[in-house]
Structure 1
Amino acid sequence: MAFAHHKGGTGKTTSCLNVAGFLQKKGRSVLVIDLDPQANATSGLGIDPHALPLSVYDLFMSRFEGFPDVSFQDVVLETRSGVYLAPSTLDLVGVEPFLYNIENRAKVLKNLLTRDRPEYEFILIDTPPSMGQLVINGLVAAEHTVVTFDRGIFALHGLDTLMTIFADIEELLGEHVSPDMAILTRWDNPEQELRRGVLARFADHFKKPDPELARDKEQLRVFEREVRDRFPAVFVVPYSREIYEAQNAGLPISHFAPECDAGRAYRAVAGKILGWNG
């Protein structure tokens, strides 16, 4: 499954890693493929992208003449959490110009997965915040697509754009993109608001007039209803500071603080995905 949104900061990588972690804790074999040259999924699983002999870059480049033949078995690492990783590096930026020079450029990852047949029950693909060839490769290779949204206005306005992109991929490439789930990250959480410090609430009061705050909340409610109308499954993940602490520790929240608010939400997401796989 691919985690996608063309805007950055919507929680793609966070959701990908934390779902992977809970699937692993359920005893499933899980591979994360990091398709983002920023390599956040790689570092988020405790792997230094600057110290890798091989990466997803080498996998893609093995498709081109003059580059060594590299398979998934050569690239994949087992991380401390037990989640397996096909890591990324900044070198991955250099793949896109090569892809534009070949036919079936959108199916390179799909063909690599078919060729190597990596034996994992779940393969999760973290895509970059763009709509270039790497994202399209991730979407085409996936059987399911998970779309993430945060509370930012640009992410909210991206819903129609995403649906148009998915439809264009199907029309132009004949490859169906199945947007089966939406995850609303760092979403409004009344319990979290109650736990916030008095000083923070006091500062917020002077940052925005109350009518504007009310308008923002109403906008979020309207958007959430629209998302629920368009996606078969929708999950809300509240803000939890433990998410960032887990990332700094190089672990999914499932292995760091599974009972925090966000941890319980991602456990529910993983439960739904387990249902997809019977």
Structure 2
Amino acid sequence: MYERPILLNTLIHRNSIQGDIITVIAFSHHKGGTGKTTSCLNIAGFLVQAGKKVLVIDCDPQANATVGLGFSPKTLGKNIYDVFLSGFEDFPKTGLFEIIQTTPSGIDLAPSSLDLVGADPFLYRMEHRAEILKNAIATVKDRYDFILVDTPPSLGQLVINGLFAADHVIVTLDSGTFALEGVSTLSTIFGDMKEDLGREIIPDMAVVTRWGEQGNPEKPGAEQPDEKDIFSRLRDLFYKKPEPTPEEIRAREEQETEHERLLSIRAEVKRLFRTVYIVPYSPQIYEAQKRGLPISQYAPESAAGSVYKNITEEVMRWS
């Protein structure tokens, strides 16, 4: 975990309702595949493990959080789409409490569905449209310690609602080739919200996910040999090593290039965000999601699980 002054030119609003004891956190990035849902669910899992009452609100039409907590959107009735359009013209009124599902993991869920794709055109016709989710959350605020909002990879009203309702914002970034390309766009979105809605936003934290998925982020060749390899090392002292093949040379160069790229990403993220956590790539994360479980209930001591536990400990200090 790293602490650095933030560089983005906007500030976060503190949007707590008077007398409210809950903490609302939005997970944000307009790109897909950055680990928003993964981070949301795994932090939620460790919060529950710590004895907190937690609601996850799935605002993504892809419904990954819904599926990741063991539900099929096709088998559910009302969902967050009904809440967003509640009372609009001929749409029936639906309260947030009406759609909440209890999951085996102990996390409560306000599910999503593909219907949400069609919500934006209706939302743009509504007054105070940015406050819909905030007002819905106010009706269940006495039930929870934390409410986590999984926003969609888009720039529309669903994202704005998630940010407007939040007390804190976590930005997720992947460690891929284009990891940092969306940061300036995010800053623009936050600036637009300040200009249009009077809300100043700054992320409290950045979480870089899938670290090292495309290669070893540590220095190539820096690993210490295992004791089991002592015979091989002794042999190398007395026998001349064969010249590396062109394929081996190319693989080594690619590894070194990837190492330098990851170092560059890490340095830039630390420069841009006040607090940064780096989550190592772990297949166990995705195995847990396939089972409808957070990593806290599947592999809590894994490398990724340990980082999410540390993140959760910091998040609990926000309340």
In the superposition, the TM-score normalised over structure 2's length comes to: 0.79
Summarize the alignment of residues 217-232 of structure 1 with structure 2, pairs less than 5 Å apart: 217-232=259-274
Measure how far apart 1:164 and its partner are.
Answer: 1.9
Q: Secondary structure at the match of 1:250?
A: coil
1:16 and 1:125 in contact (8 A); partners too: yes
Bigger shift: 182-191 or 227-236?
Answer: 182-191
Give the residue type in structure 2 aligned to 1:252. Answer: P
Partner in structure 2 of residue 108 of structure 1: 132
Unaligned stretches of 5+ residues in structure 1: 195-204
Shift in alpha-carbon separation, 1:208–1:20, aligned structure 2, 3 A: farther
Of the candidates 77, 82, 86, which is equivalent to residue 53 of structure 1? 77
Q: Aligned pair 1:3/2:45, yes or no?
A: no
Q: Aligned pair 1:268/2:310, yes or no?
A: yes
Unaligned stretches of 5+ residues in structure 2: 1-24, 224-246
Give the residue type in structure 2 aligned to 1:18. Answer: N
1:143 and 1:178 in contact (8 A); partners too: no
Shift in alpha-carbon separation, 1:90–1:208, aligned structure 2, 3 A: farther
1:59 and 1:72 in contact (8 A); partners too: yes
Measure how far apart 1:103 and its partner are.
Answer: 2.5
Summarize the alignment of residues 153-164 of structure 1 with structure 2, pairs less than 5 Å apart: 153-164=177-188
Q: Aligned pair 1:136/2:160, yes or no?
A: yes
Shift in alpha-carbon separation, 1:26–1:257, aligned structure 2, 3 A: same
2:217 and 2:258 in contact (8 A); partners too: no
Rounded to whole Å, the distance in 2 between the matches of 1:100 and 1:207 is: 56
2:63 and 2:111 in contact (8 A); partners too: yes
Partner in structure 1 of residue 143 of structure 2: 119
Give the residue type in structure 2 aligned to 1:114. Answer: A
The alignment covers a number of residue pairs equal to 266
Larger RCO (CA within 8 A; separation ≥ 6): 2
Q: Aligned pair 1:90/2:114, yes or no?
A: yes
In the superposition, the TM-score normalised over structure 1's length comes to: 0.90
Measure how far apart 1:207 and its partner are.
Answer: 11
Measure how far apart 1:59 and its partner are.
Answer: 0.7
Shift in alpha-carbon separation, 1:222–1:112, aligned structure 2, 3 A: same
Of the candidates 63, 86, 97, which is equivalent to residue 62 of structure 1? 86
Give the residue type in structure 2 aligned to 1:86. Answer: A
1:148 and 1:185 in contact (8 A); partners too: yes
Measure how far apart 1:190 and its partner are.
Answer: 5.3
Measure how far apart 1:68 and its partner are.
Answer: 1.6
Cα displacement string for residues 235-278 of structure 1 (whole angstroms, at most 9, x for unaligned residues):
1100111111101100001111111111111101101101111x
Cα displacement string for residues 209-242 of structure 1 (whole angstroms, at most 9, x for unaligned residues):
5444433322322222222222221111001111
Partner in structure 2 of residue 246 of structure 1: 288
Q: Secondary structure at the match of 1:148?
A: strand
Partner in structure 2 of residue 198 of structure 1: none
Partner in structure 2 of residue 167 of structure 1: 191
Rounded to whole Å, the distance in 1 between the matches of 2:78 and 2:288 is: 25
Shift in alpha-carbon separation, 1:28–1:241, aligned structure 2, 3 A: same
Partner in structure 2 of residue 215 of structure 1: 257
Rounded to whole Å, the distance in 1 between the matches of 2:296 and 2:27 is: 18
Q: Secondary structure at the match of 2:300?
A: coil
Q: Aligned pair 1:24/2:31, yes or no?
A: no
Cα displacement string for residues 111-149 of structure 1 (whole angstroms, at most 9, x for unaligned residues):
222345352110000011111111111111111110111
Structure of higher CA gyration radius: 2
Give the residue type in structure 1 aligned to 2:317. Answer: G
1:39 and 1:49 in contact (8 A); partners too: yes
1:140 and 1:176 in contact (8 A); partners too: no
Bigger shift: 173-182 or 149-158?
Answer: 149-158
